[in-house]
Structure 1
Amino acid sequence: MTTTTSQQQLVQFLEDRFTCAQACTDCARACARRASLVDPDGTREQELVRRRGIMCAEVCDATCHVLSEQNLLDEAAIRAQLEWCRSVCLECAHAFEAQPGGEATAEACRKCARACTDFMGTLT
């Protein structure tokens, strides 16, 4: 492998990591905002959606924190965090798309899940 290839791969890795972290941040904001709109005194289903949104925001925030660490954890730990985030985001997207006005939040969740999947693909 040439030095140029190594530098290109490093740049791509960092760009993918940043894209994933940005998607996590966007998803966390959307979920927190959406969760705050759900009536806490509403139905049990609404309460579950609100809690799922809060959990998704927290998982995305934690994932963004892991990805922003200067000294990355070992690859297995990063993969586990990314998989957890991807899974929670997909569950949250499903919950929000069933709610009136939740389409934008569901899309942010799906975008984050895709970014996690894409970034996992760059790990060796």
Structure 2
Amino acid sequence: MNPTTSQQDLFRFLEDRFACAQACGECARTSALRASLVDPDGTESRDHARHQGITCAEVCDATCRVLSDQNQVDEDVIRAQLEWCRGVCLESAHVFDAHPGAEDSARACRDCARACGAFLATLR
């Protein structure tokens, strides 16, 4: 991290990441339940939402681990992780937009993507 990145910025970012991972995990659980119901008009779409929710939760969790690792000082690795997280979250939000009841997860993913972008700006 560069000297201008404060501990408060890092803590705020980590809090946002954990909240996003929780929201995506909840959406994945909800999508899995819905996908298990007999619904010939939406099973494939719901499976995609469930898969996307799981992927997003995993990426957000990995981002939290990278950023909380006190020994991780390689800014290229941190940047790559943040960019990956931001991209997956934006894609997830787009997928969740198509599913009624997933609005909170879509919003959390967009907030996460925004926070990734803001945090990336502090590393440049």
TM-score by length of 2: 0.86
Gaps of 5+ in 2: none
* Amino acid corresponding to residue 19 of structure 1 in structure 2: R
Query: Is contact 1:19–1:115 with CA below 8 Å preserved after alignment?
Result: no
Name the structure 2 match of 1:3: none
- Aligned 1:10-89 pairs, distance under 5 A: 10-11=5-6, 14-38=7-31, 39-41=34-36, 43-89=43-89
How far the C-alpha of 1:102 sits from its partner, in A, is 1.0
Higher relative contact order (CA 8 A, sep 6+): 2
Count of residue pairs brought into register by the alignment: 115
d(CA) in 2 for partners of 1:69, 1:102:
31
How far the C-alpha of 1:10 sits from its partner, in A, is 4.5
Alpha carbon RMSD of aligned pairs, Å? 1.4
Change over 3 Å in CA distance of 1:21–1:101 after alignment to 2: same
d(CA) in 2 for partners of 1:34, 1:53:
6
- Aligned 1:92-111 pairs, distance under 5 A: 92-111=92-111
Give percent identity, aligned residues only.
51
d(CA) in 2 for partners of 1:90, 1:73:
26
d(CA) in 2 for partners of 1:100, 1:40:
13
How far the C-alpha of 1:18 sits from its partner, in A, is 1.8
Provide the secondary structure at the position in 1 that maps to 2:35.
coil
Gaps of 5+ in 1: 1-5
d(CA) in 2 for partners of 1:104, 1:123:
29
TM-score by length of 1: 0.86
Name the structure 1 match of 2:118: 118
